[in-house]
Amino acid sequence: MSFSLAIQQVAAGPYTAWLAEDHSVPVVSIAWAWQGGAALDAAEHGGALSMLAALLTEGAGELDALGFADALRDSAIGLSFDAQRDGFEGSLRALTIALPEAVRLANLAMRAPRLEESAVSRVRARAVAGARSALETPRGQVGRAFWASAFPDHPAGRPSGGTVETLSTLPVEALRAAHARQIRAEGVLIAVSGAITSAELATLLPVLFAGLPAGVPASAPALPAFQSFGTKVLQVQGPQSAIVFGQAGLALIDPAWEAAQVVLRILGGGGFSSRLMESVRVQRGLTYGIGVGLDQLFGQGVIIGSSSTDNAKVAEALAVTRSEWARMAAEGPTQAELDDAVAFLTGNLPLQFTDSRRIAGTLLALRRNNRPRDWLDTRAARLAALTRAGSAALAARLLDADKLAVAIAGQPEGV
């Protein structure tokens, strides 16, 4: 099955956007991103950029929080911002008739957020409650422990959204500093989908980013080598243990990136068709679910998986997981497994493009990952060219059961 998406490149002054034009529905979605992200938050101000992202739509310019919300609602505009570990994104979605108002409100939010005390207090309370809830669960605790152990001296090792402690004491000055360093007139990547022509988009782009401070946000620090920390156990009372496991992956620009996705899908990313699901759940009933994938951050991929099981079964579940990890490294996938994975990934691609918002988001991800514009058009051919021998060689290079790092939150027996 082939897939093609016509992507235009639109330039307007310092701005360049990728556009997937489609007039079948009178809707336009725009997504944009800068480098930087929560990694640039000072350790004592963790969560500043995440809070800022929530506050940008809580009043801006002449509009207080209620007035801004009313303006969005009255024109059926979707507008949001998201602080990520290594970047900052904005997105809007609007009917074509409301697009000028959507652009005005988005620009106002970025250029002149009010950061009023009442809004800051409300968003802070919500963020603290979320951080506390995540920390109190075994899954939240084990995830935090895993990343802190894998990258102990890098921002990747701390929660990008902050902790209860940092959020509770976060000063407004830290929010203003985050805004000043992150939202700039330059260095922005833009992707657009929907009922808009290239000429209309070229006129719109300077308006969307008008009045922002000159310059490019600082880039996030490079990700250091993954620390294979062995097995770390956090004692958490309860009948089950939450488990996170993983190891170093490969760079986004590695030519074997897609082959790695195929191998990991066969190992643990394909639901009930994966080897881990078959061995750990179906054959032995050790867990309800287990999955593995590539987590993308700071230009790198980290192999990470998770599961949960009764405390008495943790040791056996980990032994089976390591065994399957080692078997894939030693043998690679079978031809049948490879054919099935390639068929799924090829056939599933069009489902990512069912509406303008998803298309804009996917195009933005391609730009952030430095993919060429024909990446999607040539993906099926790249997948079809994968061989069992090549996939086996990649599995041997990528996977090492002896370096598998494991974090457990619970009261595991025999570990």
Task: List, as one string, the DSSP characters of 38-49.
Answer: GGGS-GGGTTHH
- If one counts the domains in the chain, the total is 2
Classify residue 333: in a domain, yes or no.
Answer: yes
Classify residue 214: in a domain, yes or no.
Answer: no
Q: What is the CA radius of gyration of the chain?
A: 23
Domain match, 56 and 189 both: yes
Report phi then psi at 284, rounded to 5.
-120, -10
Q: What is the pLDDT of residue 3?
A: 64
CA distance 39 to 47: 10
Domain limits for position 324: 231-410
Q: Distances in Å between the alpha carbon of 104 and those of 19, 83, 92, 191, 217? A: 20, 21, 11, 18, 22
Domain boundary among 143, 175, 208: 208
Domain match, 236 and 200 both: no
Neighbouring C-beta atoms of residue 215, cutoff 10 Å: 11
Domain match, 170 and 201 both: yes
Classify residue 217: in a domain, yes or no.
Answer: no
Closest CA to 181 of 155, 212, 142, 206: 212
Q: What is the pLDDT of residue 135?
A: 76
Closest CA to 371 of 98, 189, 116: 189
Classify residue 164: in a domain, yes or no.
Answer: yes
Domain match, 235 and 172 both: no
| DSSP state for residue 197 in the 8-state scheme | -
Domain match, 168 and 117 both: yes
Residue 372, burial from CB neighbour count under 10 angstroms (0-12, 13-18, 19+)? exposed
Classify residue 294: in a domain, yes or no.
Answer: yes
CA distance 382 to 228: 32
Task: Please list the pLDDT of the chain residue by residue as tens digits (415 residues).
Answer: 456 789 999 999 999 999 999 999 999 999 999 999 999 999 999 999 999 999 999 999 999 999 999 999 999 999 999 999 999 999 999 999 999 999 999 999 999 999 999 999 999 999 999 999 887 789 999 999 999 999 999 999 999 999 999 999 999 999 999 999 999 999 999 999 999 999 999 999 999 999 999 999 999 999 999 999 999 999 999 999 999 999 999 999 999 999 999 999 999 997 889 999 999 999 999 999 999 999 999 999 999 999 999 999 999 999 999 999 999 999 999 999 999 999 999 988 888 788 999 999 999 999 999 999 999 999 999 999 999 999 999 999 999 999 999 999 999 999 9
Neighbouring C-beta atoms of residue 359, cutoff 10 Å: 23
Element (H, E) at 257: helix 257-264
Domain match, 191 and 330 both: no
Domain match, 74 and 185 both: yes
Domain match, 172 and 253 both: no
Q: What angle do CA 206, 211, 215 make, to 5 degrees?
A: 90
Classify residue 218: in a domain, yes or no.
Answer: no
CA distance 294 to 289: 17
Closest CA to 191 of 367, 12, 14, 369: 367
Query: Is the dihedral angle over the CA atoms 362, 367, 371, 373 positive or is it negative?
Result: positive
Domain boundary among 173, 193, 208: 208
**CATH number of the domain enclosing 305:** 3.30.830.10
Classify residue 153: in a domain, yes or no.
Answer: yes
Q: What is the pLDDT of residue 2?
A: 55
Domain match, 347 and 299 both: yes
Domain match, 172 and 303 both: no
Go through 8-46 and write b for each residue having 16 or more CB atoms within 10 A of its CB, e for each that does not.
eebebeebebbbbbbeeeebbbbbbbbbbbbbbbeeebb
Q: What is the pLDDT of residue 81?
A: 98
Domain match, 202 and 351 both: no
Classify residue 111: in a domain, yes or no.
Answer: yes
Domain match, 164 and 32 both: yes
Q: What is the pLDDT of residue 366?
A: 96
